[in-house]
Amino acid sequence: MSEYIEQIRHVCSLGALQSVLAIDRAVPILHAGPGCGQKLWGAIGFQNGCQGSGYAGGHTVPCTNIGEKEVIFGGDERLRGIVHNSLNVLDADLFVILTGCTSDIVGDDVGEVARRFQEKGKPVVYAETGGFKGTNLFGHELVLDAIIDQYLQPAKSKQTGLVNIWSVVPFHDPFWVGTYKAIERLIAELGLTPNIIFGPGNGIDALNKVPQAEFNLLISPWVGLKNVQHLQEKFGTPYLHYPVLPIGPTETAKFLRTVGEYAGLEEKRIEKIIAKHEANYYYFIERSADVLLETRLLPRRFITIADSFYSLGIAKFLINDIGLLPETQYITDGVTEEQQAGIKAEFSSFVDGITANVVFTSDGGAVHEAIRETKFRSRPLILGSSWERVLSDQVNGYQLSVTMPASDRLVLDRTYVGYEGALRLVEDIYSIILADFQ
Amino acid sequence: MAINLNHSEVPIRENRLGSVTGYQGSIKDLVNQAAGCSLKNKERCFSQASACSSGCAQSYLSRIVDAVLVVHAPVGCAADSVYSNTQNKWGEKVRNWKHRNISVVTTNMVEEDTVFGAVNKLTETIREAYRRFNPKAIFVTTSCVSGIIGEDIQSVLDELQEEIPVPLAPVFCEGFKSKVWASGFDAAFHAILTKIVKPPEKKTNQVNMINFSGSARNQIVETLARFGLEPVFVAPYSTVEQLSRMSEAAATISICGTLGSYIGNGLEQQFGVPYVKTLQPHGIAGMDSWLRGLGATVGKEKEVEAYISEQKELIAADLAEIREKLSGYKAVVGMGPSFGHNYIRTLQELGIEVIWGATWHFDPQYDNGEAPASIQDLAAAEVDIPLSVGDQQNFELLNLLNRLKPDLYVARHGGSTVWATKLGIPSIMVADEFSAFGYQGLIDFGHRLLDAVTNRSLAKNLSKRIKLPYTDWWLAQDTFTFLEDEVI
């Protein structure tokens, strides 16, 4: 974590402002410097799949634009004024105050400001997300914890079959909307009732239902584990932690079976669902097998330089389902040392005893240096970010941006998750290969 | 007001030029107040995220081809390197260069650094940056965190200078210090002026062309060649060597007064390189003024006049046609001050009525002590235009646009036009600084505006189906409800 970073692939804790914006009709209020908001949404929003400002993002986000005066005299009063006026000016259901480096260092009592509004019954919560504290993925956890502690109320009763779904980090993952929708569809197919707070049409109603759930489902290598544990402590809701983003038939079937078993669903029903999806998936793979097998351009080996969600999810798919082999896999989302072992273990359990060398680093420059020194026996497939466009040229590879920053792509409802998602990934990869010489 | 190169830090615009970010009135009133020294800044008791100096400094310096930028900050402060990298590729595309990634390394300050300091980390990062890129110069930008905890960056650089044989330049651009993010351009140019530019050895026929992307570079090369001059596009896409020779140029010109005024006046005051302080070259009057200013500086008045009349004749028919098609349309302009003033004039040349101007700040004077030519020109015109100044406060703009309902909103700076479009107002984002550049550029820009008002389906459909994030209460308020006299 303390290393220097060239080619950033995540931003700072305050980047969690985008997680607030991912909840319909929720608005972040930044108690931060004037440039923080613009820089952060620029990197994990606009320059990442062209995700724009949406309902209330971008330059709409209220911000104290903290200046020299507040650094010297403190910014509590300014913050109070901005929150008060935000409630009048913006039409929203939940306001989340997020602090930046400056207010955390000068020690503003933001909790006190938030509590005053809470006492008046206003939907205002706060999280101390000073940028020096960690990554935006860590900040995402801070924000969810703040909402759990300061907003959610215990449920009168549990709703049978209701499952809260926590997974990829909104905006940091350019495919988050499509991904949550795909997971929602899969869970619904099982006969459960998915509850997702992020994305269109969900928002506050979904948030209010969180304490009623029968269990929390976390699909993530590490992000969010803290939150589902917190929900268990607070509301007694058990959780299922599924550590791989399920891309492709092997992992998705495993995922459906795991969830089904945990929820006590009938096995026959799950197998029927899996069989139907596999038939559809393999119809297309059978058709494309000619090009997958017979083009002389086929890459045999791939590298991922991505956050742990996509590095692991894509590696599982390309190895277990498509028959490619892994070169070193680089994981860039600042995974703490204690969480690295579990992720590493997943990279040692592919089909046929295949394992992958894993490197955890946020320093893209060091990754590029290592890859430039690697001897490849065929053209490598590089699944990373737009930083890899140049690298790919240097090592004569094929490149697809799948992780932040994906500034070279427009992403709408695309996802790589599940069965259809895997088909999209195959389309995207092989379209690049075919377009390479034409 | 003399530029002081003996200090490593340039004062922010508020303190140096009296720049403001809060004002509402009209162009004539603003200029009168500025001239009478009665212009007072105003502050908002509601505000939205704007931008900061470090963004301007970093995005500008990171595109110098053989320099490295070290960002002494938590990782988020380097977030704009993603955008800069995309921008950089656009400039490379324009030049048919092979793509490279920009060279930016952040020290990635973390919590313990806020307690114990991070000068060792900075030292290590600079060494590593030198090893990785073998650059010709290293710029080190500061941040809110490094500023507040009082990191002595100058000492770190002084010490390292003994082992690293290229200029190590501090760039003081803490985000909390200035509401005028253009202060970051000054910080970048101050670093270039104090650490990169060398005293002249000879005089050349080169002209320092201060700009961003250089998309009109072919045209400019061609035009200046007519006067025996050769442009050097500064500072993105130039080399450290080219920058070091800026003192030898015959003149400095700029695409943007806000951007160019510090370096232009600095080179003039320090090395006697004349800075052309005219209108900017948008539209006819702007191009006339810019070229004549340059011609007078280098003694090529006759050649310039010949060129101007030749070019005007070339576009005369097109201009008459586009003016006729655009006349009657009403527009609102929202841009930085220099672009804002110059585009108000340019839109008027196209026959459009500008009914409001909003600029992201206002400089009552530049570093030569004079008010910007672009605002003087507008103030001297017969019609006075309502004008407001704000650090891109969208809630004001939306309230204003909702009230004025112009046919067009023309803006520069990302994240502005989308909101006008949501109101159903066709909008133009002037992302390329050479939009409406000169004579043919004016015609091209006119056609772009005409296309925007001819098919409004996206704006219409969006506005019908989306809900704005503002309450009805706010949209019914006076636009400047939250603009108050600054309390110090």
DSSP B322-363: HHHHHTT-EEEEEE-HHHHHHHHHHHHHTTPEEEEEEES-B-
Nearest one of B282, B299, B281 to B290, comparing CA atoms: B281
Length of chain A as a residue count: 438
Nearest CA in chain A to B176: A67
Whether the predicted pLDDT of A437 surpasses 90: no
The pair of three-digit structure tokens given for residue A105, joined into one six-digit string: 């260092």
Helix, strand or coil, per DSSP, at residue B410: strand
Q: Which one of A132, A333, A390 makes the best mutation probe of the B interface by having the most chain B beta carbons within 10 Å?
A: A132
Nearest CA in chain A to B128: A4
* Residue with the two structure tokens 């307690």: B115
Q: What is chain B's mean pLDDT, rounded? A: 97
Q: pLDDT tens, A10-24?
A: 999 999 999 999 999
Length of chain B as a residue count: 488
Q: What share of chain B is helix, strand, coil (3-state, %, to 5)?
A: 50, 15, 35
Give the pairing of strands A381-384 and A398-401.
Answer: parallel
The beta-carbon neighbor of B49 closest among A59, A89, A369 is: A59
The beta-carbon neighbor of B471 closest among A38, A59, A91 is: A91
Q: pLDDT tens, A63-98?
A: 999 999 999 999 999 999 999 999 999 999 999 999
Q: pLDDT tens, B335-378?
A: 999 999 999 999 999 999 999 999 999 999 999 999 999 999 99
A–B interface: beta-carbon pairs under 8 A: 245
**Torsion angle, alpha carbons of B380, B385, B388, B392, to 10:** -100
Q: With 0-12 CB in 10 A as exposed, 13-18 as middle and 19+ as buried, what is B488?
A: exposed
B417 and chain A: CB distance < 8 Å anywhere?
A: no
The pair of three-digit structure tokens given for residue B124, joined into one six-digit string: 């290590």
Contacts for B317 with CB less than 8 Å, ≥ 6 apart:
none
Give mean pLDDT, residues B221-240.
98
Between CA A196 and CA A224 the distance in angstroms is 14
Whether the predicted pLDDT of B317 surpasses 70: yes
Whether the predicted pLDDT of A284 surpasses 70: yes
**Contact between A33 and B52 using a beta-carbon 8 Å cutoff:** yes
Whether the predicted pLDDT of B385 surpasses 50: yes
What is the per-residue pLDDT for B486? 63
Nearest one of B250, B249, B136 to B196, comparing CA atoms: B136
Confidence of residue B468 (pLDDT cuts 50, 70, 90): very high
**Contact between A70 and B176 using a beta-carbon 8 Å cutoff:** yes
Whether the complex's predicted ipTM is more than 0.95 is answered with: yes
Between CA A210 and CA A219 the distance in angstroms is 16
What is the per-residue pLDDT for B236? 98
What is the per-residue pLDDT for B259? 98
H-helix or E-strand spanning residue B68: strand B67-71
Nearest CA in chain B to A405: B82
Least confident of A100-104, B36-40, B330-334, B424-428: B36-40
B276-307 b/e with 16+ CB inside 10 Å = b?
bbbbbbbbbbbbbbbbbbbbebbebeeebeeb
What is the per-residue pLDDT for B1? 61
Kindly report the CA angle at A102 between B13 and B16, in degrees rounded to 5? 10
Give mean pLDDT, residues B426-438.
97
**Maximum C-alpha span of chain B:** 68
Q: pLDDT tens, A5-61?
A: 999 999 999 999 999 999 999 999 999 999 999 999 999 999 999 999 999 999 999
Q: With 0-12 CB in 10 A as exposed, 13-18 as middle and 19+ as buried, what is B27?
A: buried
Q: Which one of A20, A23, A60, A98 makes the best mutation probe of the B interface by having the most chain B beta carbons within 10 Å?
A: A60
H-helix or E-strand spanning residue A325: strand A325-326
A70: which chain B residues are within 8 Å (Cβ-Cβ)? Answer: 176
Between CA B1 and CA B8 the distance in angstroms is 18
Helix, strand or coil, per DSSP, at residue A137: helix
Confidence of residue B88 (pLDDT cuts 50, 70, 90): very high
Whether the predicted pLDDT of A248 surpasses 80: yes
Contacts for A195 with CB less than 8 Å, ≥ 6 apart:
A162, A163, A164, A165, A206, A209, A210, A213
**Contact between B177 and A68 using a beta-carbon 8 Å cutoff:** yes
Q: pLDDT tens, B36-69?
A: 989 999 999 999 999 999 999 999 999 999 999 9
Give mean pLDDT, residues A346-370.
97
Q: pLDDT tens, A188-240?
A: 999 999 999 999 999 999 999 999 999 999 999 999 999 999 999 999 999 99
Whether the predicted pLDDT of B162 surpasses 80: yes
Compute CA distances B410 → A141, B358, B395, whole Å: 40, 10, 17
The pair of three-digit structure tokens given for residue B60, joined into one six-digit string: 């500008």
- CB–CB of A97/A110 below 8 Å? yes
Q: What is chain A's mean pLDDT, rounded? A: 96
How far out from the chain centre does Cα B90 lie? 17
What is the per-residue pLDDT for B314? 98
Query: Is 0.90 surpassed by the pTM of this model?
Result: yes
Give mean pLDDT, residues B388-405.
97
Give mean pLDDT, residues B247-273.
98
B181: which chain A residues are within 8 Å (Cβ-Cβ)? Answer: 34-35
**Contact between A58 and B145 using a beta-carbon 8 Å cutoff:** no
A58: which chain B residues are within 8 Å (Cβ-Cβ)? Answer: 49, 394, 415, 418
What is the per-residue pLDDT for A1? 42
The beta-carbon neighbor of B101 closest among A40, A90, A390 is: A390
The pair of three-digit structure tokens given for residue A133, joined into one six-digit string: 């504290």
B222-256 b/e with 16+ CB inside 10 Å = b?
ebbeebebbbbbbbbbbbbebbbbbbbbbbbbbbb
Tell me A43's DSSP state.
I
Nearest one of B377, B186, B206, B358 to B280, comparing CA atoms: B377
Give mean pLDDT, residues A361-378.
96
Whether the predicted pLDDT of B328 surpasses 90: yes
The beta-carbon neighbor of B48 closest among A52, A61, A407 is: A61
The pair of three-digit structure tokens given for residue B475, joined into one six-digit string: 């949209």
Confidence of residue B471 (pLDDT cuts 50, 70, 90): very high
Amino acid at B246: M
What is the per-residue pLDDT for B488? 46
pLDDT above 70: percentage of residues in chain A: 100
pLDDT above 90: percentage of residues in chain B: 98
